[in-house]
Each structure stands twice: as structure tokens, then as C-alpha cells.
């Protein structure tokens, strides 16, 4: 775990029987599930930051059902087989992290999320993938060494541009996935009286956008359970009253999944 650094003093870690310890004796124990909590108390913005356990369970059930497999496949096709260190930012319950680990069995894969419940779920689901290290940490203050990552993947998650610049190797690759204009358009029509344009792809400071790929596919959901999971894993759940939610769940969904993958390279500064 040479890519890790102490979130308090930024010195390197050594492994011991309990977990990780740095030169200044800051100790971080491995949890019973197998993750490390590297989020200092002073950096937490709430008692339980990040997605709720219910949102994470819904995300796991929906993604494991294979509805977003085309996105999963395209992401893996854009990552070089020679990559040795890969970071999955805002990894939630670890769906894409596990895919990365299976695709790159000789690489060190790091899954980072601020939600402790997500890391517990991710670690329990990855017992057969020893090349993953799961970390409770903030995307805005990563417990990773400078220039330590070959690839950073960020799927529908926020982060701090300067941290991406700091931890990515000079010749590394940054992949940022955002929703496209047609993403869940039919569902959004059922929820909102007016469909507003989505935010354009943001610029990433000190990075150059080298390539952009659109991944679009039909999304047909005929069963109640995955439709319920889709609603619960998205921000839509907070915008629905029970009457409107029941109406959506009473019929099948014929919709579109639409994503844009931006591939970035660092600009020397």
C-alpha cells in the first residue's frame, strides 16, 4: 500500500497487525469488513456523510442486475491493461471498483467513498479480489501519495481539481463520467413539470480533454423491484411525493441511459 499516506500528517504508512500506522504513530485499524477509515473526524460534514444505506443498497441491486453494463464495458475498454494503480472516486458500494479489479488483476485498485456504509458493503462484496483497498475518505482530501495513480475514474461524483492533479501520475489518465442530455429523460418528464438542460461538461483545471465518448442505450424496466431501486438510488427520490412515486412504480419504464465519458490528460504546471 505504498500509494497511501496519512490523512493527518501526510507521511507514509506501514502495515501492522491492526492496520496502518505512520511515522508519527497515527494508527488506523482495518475494520472487520476489511476497509480503512481514513476520514479524520474534523473533516466530516455530518455524523454519517455520503449516501444513506438505503441508497447504497438500491444502487447495488440495480447495478448488479446489469442495467448499466454497456457503460461498465466502455469504461474498461478505455483503461490500459498495463495500468498498475487505479483510483475509483466516489465508488459507493463498489460496483465499478470490482469491475476494475477483475479487469486488472495485477494492479492495485483503490475505492474511495465518504460513506462508511458504502465501504462496508464494498469490502464485504470483494473478499475474492485481494487487489482492492477500500478507503473511507474525502474526494477533496485524498489519503494518497503525490503522483501515485495511473488512472483515476470518477463516475457521477464530485471532487477537487487540485487533488486530481496531485495524485495522478504525469502520464496518467483521468476518466470523468457525467449524464448526457437524454439520460432518464422519460423518467424526468414524469417527475418535473419542466425539463431543464443538464450542466455541461465541466472544465478540469490543469487538465486537457483529449477524447469524449457517448454511451447511450435503451433502458427497459418491466419489474417493480429494479424500478424501485432506480428511484431510490437517484436524487429523484427526494423530489417525489408518495402519490407520484406510486404512479411511476405502477407501470413499466421505457427510457434511455445516456452517459458521456471524458478522457483527460494532465497539463504540466
Residue 96 grid cell:
465499478
Angle at CA of residue 205, ends 211 and 260, nearest 5°: 35
- Averaged over 187-201, what is the pLDDT? 85
* Average pLDDT over all residues of the chain: 92
- pLDDT given at position 98: 97
The vertex-141 CA angle with 101 and 92, nearest 5°, equals 40
Looking up cell 504540466, which residue turns up? 268
Task: State pLDDT tens for residues 70-110.
Answer: 999 999 999 999 999 999 999 999 999 999 999 999 999 99
Binned at pLDDT 50, 70 and 90, residue 202 comes out as confident
Three-class secondary structure of residue 242 per DSSP: helix
pLDDT tens readout for residues 217-256: 999 999 999 999 999 998 777 777 888 888 889 989 999 9
SS3 262: strand
Q: Lowest-pLDDT range, 22-31, 45-54, 252-261?
A: 45-54
Whole-structure pTM over 0.75, yes or no? yes
> What pLDDT score was predicted for residue 111?
98
**Helical residues (DSSP H) of 65-219, grouped into ranges:** 69-77, 95-103, 116-124, 161-167, 185-191
Residue-by-residue DSSP string for 197-240: PPPPPPP-TTEEEEEEEEEEEEEEE-SHHHHHHHHHHSGGGGG-
Predicted confidence at residue 151, as pLDDT, reads 98
The DSSP bridge pattern shows strands 149-155 and 132-136 to be unpaired
98 touches 110 (CB < 8 A)? no
CA-closest candidate to residue 175, choices 213, 133, 136: 213
- Domains in the chain: boundaries: 13-266
**13-266: which CATH topology?**
Rossmann fold (3.40.50)
pLDDT in tens, 15-44: 999 999 999 999 999 999 999 999 987 665
Confidence of residue 134 (pLDDT cuts 50, 70, 90): very high
Amino acid at each position: 500500500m505504498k500509494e497511501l499516506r496519512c490523512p493527518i500528517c501526510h507521511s507514509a504508512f506501514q502495515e501492522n497487525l491492526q492496520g496502518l500506522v505512520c511515522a508519527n504513530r497515527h494508527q488506523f485499524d482495518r475494520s472487520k469488513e476489511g476497509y480503512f477509515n481514513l476520514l479524520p473526524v474534523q473533516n466530516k460534514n455530518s455524523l454519517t456523510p455520503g449516501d444513506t444505506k438505503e441508497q447504497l443498497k438500491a444502487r447495488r441491486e440495480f447495478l448488479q442486475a446489469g442495467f448499466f453494463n454497456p457503460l461498465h464495458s466502455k469504461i474498461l475498454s478505455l483503461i490500459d491493461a498495463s495500468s498498475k494503480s487505479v483510483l475509483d472516486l466516489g465508488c459507493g458500494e463498489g460496483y465499478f471498483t470490482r469491475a476494475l479489479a477483475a479487469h486488472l488483476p495485477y494492479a492495485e485498485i483503490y475505492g474511495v467513498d465518504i460513506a462508511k456504509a458504502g465501504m462496508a458493503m464494498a469490502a464485504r462484496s470483494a473478499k475474492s479480489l485481494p487487489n482492492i483497498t477500500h478507503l473511507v475518505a474525502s474526494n477533496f482530501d485524498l489519503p494518497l501519495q503525490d503522483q501515485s495513480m495511473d488512472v483515476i475514474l470518477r463516475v457521477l461524483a464530485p471532487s477537487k481539481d487540485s487533488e486530481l492533479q496531485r495524485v495522478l501520475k504525469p502520464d496518467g489518465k483521468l476518466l470523468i463520467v457525467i449524464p448526457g442530455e437524454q439520460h432518464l429523460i422519460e423518467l424526468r418528464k414524469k417527475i418535473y413539470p419542466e425539463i431543464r438542460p443538464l450542466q455541461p461538461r465541466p472544465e478540469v483545471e490543469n487538465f486537457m480533454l483529449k477524447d469524449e465518448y457517448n454511451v447511450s442505450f435503451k433502458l427497459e424496466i418491466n419489474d417493480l423491484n429494479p424500478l424501485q431501486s432506480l428511484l431510490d438510488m437517484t436524487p429523484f427520490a427526494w423530489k417525489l411525493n408518495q402519490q407520484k412515486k406510486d404512479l411511476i412504480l405502477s407501470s413499466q419504464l421505457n427510457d434511455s441511459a445516456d452517459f458521456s465519458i471524458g478522457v483527460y490528460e494532465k497539463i504540466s504546471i
